[in-house]
Amino acid sequence: MIKTIGNLRLISGTSNQALADAISRKLNVSLTPVKISKFIDGESYARILEKVRGEDVFIIQPTCYPVNDHLMELLILTDAVRRASAGRINLVIPFFGYARQDRKNLEREAITAKLVANLITVAGANRVIIVDIHSDQIEGFFDIPVDHIRALSRIAKYFKKLDLRDFVVVAPDEGSVKVNNKLSQILGVPLVVISKQRDKTKVDSFEHIMLLGDVKGKNVIIIDDEINTGGTIVRAAELLKKHGAKEVYVSCTHAILAGPAIERLEKAPIKEVVVTDTIPLPEEKRIGKIKVLSLAPILAKTIKAIHEDTSLGKVLEEWRKV
C-alpha cells in the first residue's frame, strides 16, 4: 500500500457551502478556514488561514452560476494551496462548468472545456473528482487522474423505494438513451425513447417528433444529466401526457434551473422533479415538486478512499448496488 500523504484537509469555496458542510460531517473532518473576498474592482482574493504544508488537501467547489466567478475562485484556491506546499491537491468539482463546450460545432470556436482542464492542471491540481460530466470525453482533456462519480445509483434507489407500479423509463432524446437505459435495467421496467429531428432553420423547434415505445396508461420516469432552462424536459412531459401517460416524474443530477426553468416546471404536467445537491438550490427555487437528494455520502467515501489509497473501485461498486 502506498503511504498516505499528510493529514486529510477539506477546503470549501463559496459556491456550495452546504454540500461541503455535509461532506465535512460525514468524514468528521472540520473545514480548514479560508478567507475569500473580492476587491472593489471585482478581482477575487483567497488565503488559507491554517498551515497545510505536506497535507492531503481536497478543495470542494462546483463551478456553477456565476460560473466565471466560481471557476476563478477555484483556481485561486488551488494556487494558494500549492504555494502553501500542500502534499497533494485534489479538486472536488461536483458540477463542471463549460462542459457543454467540449467540441467545435462551428468554425473558429473555442473548445472551452479543454481550456478549463488545462487551467486546473496548470494551477497545481493533482487530481479531480467530478459528478456526471456532460460528456465522458472531457475526462481525456485532463493530464491528471480524474474520478468520475455517477449519481444514477442514488436516483435509482430513491425511485425503487417508492415501490412504483406500471412504470416505464423515457429517454427525452437520443443523447440520454444510455443513462435512461441503465435506469430501466436497474428498475426492471421498459425503456421508451423520444426521437426528434430538429429544424435547423429555427431556434428550439423540431420538424418531427416520434415516440419509440408505448406510454399509454403508464407512469413515466425521465432522467437527464442536467436541467437548464427546462424546455426539453417540459416538452417531453407534455408529449408523454398527450400520448396517454399517467404521472410524469423527472430527475437530473445538476439542477441548473436557469431563466424560466422554475416557472416552466411549476406549470408543467410533472408530478415530481428529483435532483441532487451538486448545485445549491436557493430558497426561491425550492418549489413543492422538487426533491433534493444528497451526494455527500458518496463524495465523502470517495475522498476517504483516495486519501487512504484504498480501492475506489470497491467504494463505487458498493454505491452502485440498489
Contact, 4 vs 307, CB < 8 A?
yes
Taking only Cα atoms into account, the Rg of the chain, rounded to an integer number of angstroms, comes to 21
Of 114, 182, 196, 218, the catalytic one is 196
201 Cβ contact partners less than 8 Å away, ≥ 6 residues apart:
none
Instruction: Based on DSSP, count helices (H) and strands (E) in the chain, helices before strands.
Output: 9, 14
Contact, 155 vs 274, CB < 8 A?
yes
d(CA 229, CA 221): 19
Nearest CA-CA partner of 197 in 215, 213, 177, 174: 174
Start-to-end C-alpha separation, the chain: 30
- Edge-first strand order for the sheet with 290-293 is 206-212, 191-198, 167-171, 219-227, 248-255, 272-276, 290-293
d(CA 309, CA 253): 27
d(CA 95, CA 63): 6
C-alpha cell at 229: 432552462
In sequence order, the β-bridge partners of residue 239 are none
Identify each DSSP E strand in the chain by its residue range. 8-12, 34-38, 44-48, 56-60, 88-93, 127-131, 146-149, 167-171, 191-198, 206-212, 219-227, 248-255, 272-276, 290-293
Q: What is the 3-state secondary structure (H, E, C) of 232-247?
A: HHHHHHHHHHHCCCCC
d(CA 58, CA 91): 6
Question: Does 196 qualify as catalytic in the annotation?
Answer: yes
> Is the bond leading into 190 cis (omega within 30 degrees of zero)?
no
Which amino acids are annotated catalytic?
196
